[in-house]
Every structure is written in structure tokens, then in C-alpha cells.
């Protein structure tokens, strides 16, 4: 890595762009501090994977992890939807917030679809394009070639190409550069640790910036996809966007530092610290979910004949911790009157909390559960 050259500035007709070096080649790992960090990150990731393997109904809780990732990754790009708003149905979202809400919902759909596609598709350009297509469906970037690599020049920061913070490579080189990423990902001849591989892939993808819009969100989504595709995680339980959002300046600075100073080491360290911290936080979150689940189960069992219906509603709330009376009736298959009685029971336990304050259209939140993700 000492001899690493990120790329070169290339003079175009009226501006300069950055042409990244290819990454599918032999790499030598020779920094002891990085090796130690890598070992710690591998251990924490192993703990998280083992932990998630032993949690009953893990897929219920993964839905909330995906929702958190969606709001945080979108937030980095300026979208202002929080988790409570993301849980609302479209008709309950204020008109001026619907575009942001739709972007978050698309991220959830793109992540779920991409994870499902891994059953039949390898980590590839096709998977990336299909994920992007879902992400950009019917939102602000819908006219920016969803699912297709760009055919024109884009830039990052600044009002024009001439005052841009960073100008990615020309569109004619995208196909070759993405192909190089594919070769690198599936290169089993020249060994490189998987966590450093995806760290490098993320950097390279953001540098190529192959789409007209949505590059940041797709690039962050690829991290989880990669870990699942390689079998490092059995379930998609690690999401780095919260770490990147809380350290947004460092995130962007470290990516730029690679391009400007060839400092790949600092980016690797930052990325591994993110993996370690996020894995530890995820383990804590799962541990707290199990504790809460135990408390809730013991409370619900005191409801006697209504306990079965209450369990159906709780099961739904673990996937979507916001509900109204009609949904309670639908989930538990009970009358409106019985639904309100059940809500009153759950309110008494503190499981549900009314959040609208109105007499009609009341919404209820499983607040203790939602707080575990915030």
C-alpha cells in the first residue's frame, strides 16, 4: 500500500477529471496497526454473526435495522425523514415531506430486493444496476437514468464543473472501472482480507460515481450486500451509515484524502473502526431487544384469553412499531371494539403510547422498542 497511487488528474476539453487506478491487483498488507484493527473487526463481526444466528425471529428485527440504515444513509444525502416518519403510511405523511419519505422507502425496498437477488445473482454490475433502479423509482432522481450507468459527466460539490470539489472519471471509462471492481471482488488468486476488500470497493465505487444520482446510497448499501454475499454474515445485520452519518466530515475527508494524498491507510482505519463500533452497537441492540421481548411476553401472558391476540399485534410491532386501531383489528382478526380494548391493555403496560393527541386517527407507538434503534 505504500506505493499506492489513487489515480491521476486528466485534462478534458473544458475541465479536469480524476481517473482512478484499477484495484484488481496484488496487495501487500504490511502495517501492524491496521492488522490489529482488522483482527478486532473480524472478531466483532464474528460475534455479531454468531449472536444473530441464535436469536429467534431475527428477520423481524432486521426490518428495523434496514429502516434505520435507510433513514441514516438518506440523511447523509440531505433527506430529513426520521424513523417515526418513515413508519407512517404515505397518506399520513405531510405533502412537503413525501419526497424524502419516498426516498427512504425506496432504500428499504432496494436493500430487501438486493439481499433477495443474492440468491441468484453474484455481487456484480448487474446487481448494482438493478439495486439502483429500485432506489431511484418514482423519486427526485427518476429522470436520471435509474439502473443505468451515466452517459455524461457529473461532479461533487460546487455549482458547476469548474468549481466542483471533485470531478469523477469520464463516463466512457465507467464500464471498464466497474468491470475491474467485479474482477477484484471475485479474485480468489491474490488474497486480500475481505473487510479491506469491501472498504476499497466502497472507496472506488464512490470515486467512479457511476450514476447521475444515488451513488452514495448505493455505495453504502453495497457494504452489507458484500458481507452477505461472501458469507461473512449469514443475515444482513451490519449497517455502517449511522457511523458515517455521525462522522460525516471524517467520512468525506478520508475518501478525499485517498484521492488527493494516496492515503489509503487512513481510509482503511476509519472503515474498520466503523465496523468495530457498529458491530458492538448492534450486539448491544440485539441484547436489549431480547430483554425487552422477555418483559413484554411476561406482561402479555397476564391477559388470559386476550394474550394470543396481543401476541399477534406484538409480532407485527417488532417489524413496524407504529399502529392504529384498524391495523390492530386486521392483525389480530378482531372487531373494532375488541381492538380498542386490546390497545388499552397494551397502553396500560406501557407497550403502546398514543402519539397524535387527537380524537380521531390515533396512532400508537411501541416507543421502548423504537428507542433501541435510535
Domain ranges across the chain: 7-285, 289-371
Confidence (pLDDT) at 138: 78
Q: Which residues of 106-136 are buried (b: 16+ CB within 10 A; e: fewer)?
A: bbbbbbeebbebeeeeebbeebbbbbbbbbb
Helix axes 32-53, 264-300, angle to 10 degrees: 20
Strands 7-11 and 353-354: unpaired
Tell me if the pTM is above 0.95: no
Question: Rounded to a whole number, what is the distance in angstroms from the first to the last CA of the chain?
Answer: 37
Confidence (pLDDT) at 357: 79
Region of 78 (left: φ > 0; alpha: ψ -120 to 50; beta: rest) is left
Confidence (pLDDT) at 141: 66
- Which of 220, 344, 370, 288 has the alpha carbon at shortest distance from 51? 288
What are the respective helix, strand and coil percentages of the chain, to the nearest 5? 60, 5, 35
Q: Do domains 7-285 and 289-371 have the same CATH topology?
A: no
CATH code reported for the domain at 7-285: 1.10.3290.10
Q: Would you say 237 and 282 are in contact if contact means Cβ atoms under 8 Å apart?
A: yes
Confidence (pLDDT) at 208: 98
CATH code reported for the domain at 289-371: 1.10.10.10
Q: Would you say 241 and 281 are in contact if contact means Cβ atoms under 8 Å apart?
A: no
Confidence (pLDDT) at 142: 67
Confidence (pLDDT) at 53: 82
pLDDT one digit per residue (tens) for the chain, 374 residues: 778 999 999 999 999 999 999 999 999 999 999 999 999 999 999 999 998 888 878 888 888 899 999 999 989 988 888 899 999 888 888 888 888 899 899 999 999 999 999 999 999 999 999 999 999 987 776 678 899 999 999 999 988 998 999 999 999 999 999 999 999 999 999 999 999 999 999 999 999 999 999 999 999 999 999 999 999 999 999 999 999 999 999 999 999 999 999 999 999 999 999 999 999 999 999 999 999 999 999 999 999 999 999 999 999 999 999 999 999 999 999 999 999 999 999 999 999 999 987 777 899 999 999 999 88
Return the bridge partners of 365, or none. Answer: 322, 353
Amino acid at each position: 500500500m505504500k506505493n499506492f497511487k489513487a489515480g491521476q488528474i486528466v485534462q478534458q476539453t473544458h475541465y479536469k477529471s480524476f481517473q482512478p487506478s484499477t484495484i484488481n491487483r496484488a496487495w501487500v498488507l504490511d502495517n501492524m496497526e491496521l492488522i490489529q484493527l482488522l483482527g478486532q473487526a473480524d472478531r466483532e463481526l464474528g460475534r455479531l454473526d454468531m449472536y444473530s444466528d441464535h436469536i429467534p425471529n431475527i428477520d423481524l428485527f432486521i426490518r428495523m435495522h434496514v429502516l434505520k440504515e435507510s433513514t441514516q444513509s438518506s440523511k447523509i444525502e440531505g433527506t430529513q425523514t426520521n424513523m417515526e416518519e418513515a413508519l407512517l403510511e404515505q397518506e399520513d405523511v405531510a405533502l412537503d415531506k413525501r419526497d424524502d419519505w419516498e426516498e427512504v422507502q425506496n432504500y428499504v425496498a432496494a436493500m430487501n430486493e438486493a439481499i433477495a437477488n443474492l440468491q441468484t445473482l453474484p455481487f456484480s454490475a448487474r446487481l448494482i444496476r438493478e439495486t439502483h433502479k429500485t432506489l431511484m423509482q418514482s423519486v427526485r432522481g427518476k429522470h436520471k437514468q435509474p439502473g443505468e450507468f451515466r452517459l455524461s459527466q457529473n461532479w461533487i460539490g460546487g455549482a458547476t464543473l469548474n468549481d466542483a470539489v471533485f470531478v469523477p472519471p469520464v463516463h466512457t471509462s465507467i464500464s471498464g472501472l466497474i468491470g475491474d471492481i467485479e474482477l477484484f471482488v471475485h479474485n480468489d488468486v491474490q488474497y486480500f482480507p475481505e473487510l479491506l476488500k469491501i472498504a476499497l470497493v466502497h472507496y472506488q465505487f464512490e470515486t467512479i460515481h457511476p450514476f447521475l444520482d444515488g451513488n452514495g446510497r448505493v455505495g453504502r448499501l453495497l457494504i452489507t450486500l458484500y458481507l452477505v454475499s461472501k458469507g461473512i454474515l449469514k443475515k444482513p445485520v451490519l449497517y455502517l451509515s449511522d457511523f458515517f452519518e455521525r462522522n460525516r466530515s471524517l467520512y468525506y475527508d478520508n475518501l478525499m484524502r485517498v484521492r488527493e494524498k494516496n492515503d489509503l491507510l487512513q481510509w482503511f482505519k476509519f472503515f474498520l473502526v466503523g465496523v468495530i463500533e457498529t458491530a458492538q452497537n448492534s450486539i448491544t441492540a440485539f441484547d436489549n431487544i431480547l430483554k425487552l421481548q422477555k418483559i413484554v411476553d411476561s406482561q402479555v401472558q397476564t391477559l388470559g384469553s386476550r394474550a394470543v391476540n396481543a401476541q399477534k399485534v406484538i409480532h407485527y410491532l417488532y417489524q413496524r412499531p407504529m399502529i392504529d386501531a384498524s391495523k390492530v383489528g386486521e392483525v389480530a382478526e378482531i372487531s373494532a371494539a375488541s381492538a380498542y380494548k386490546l390497545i388499552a391493555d397494551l397502553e396500560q403496560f406501557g407497550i403502546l403510547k398514543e402519539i397524535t393527541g387527537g380524537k380521531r386517527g390515533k396512532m400508537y407507538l411501541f416507543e421502548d422498542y423504537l428507542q433501541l434503534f435510535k
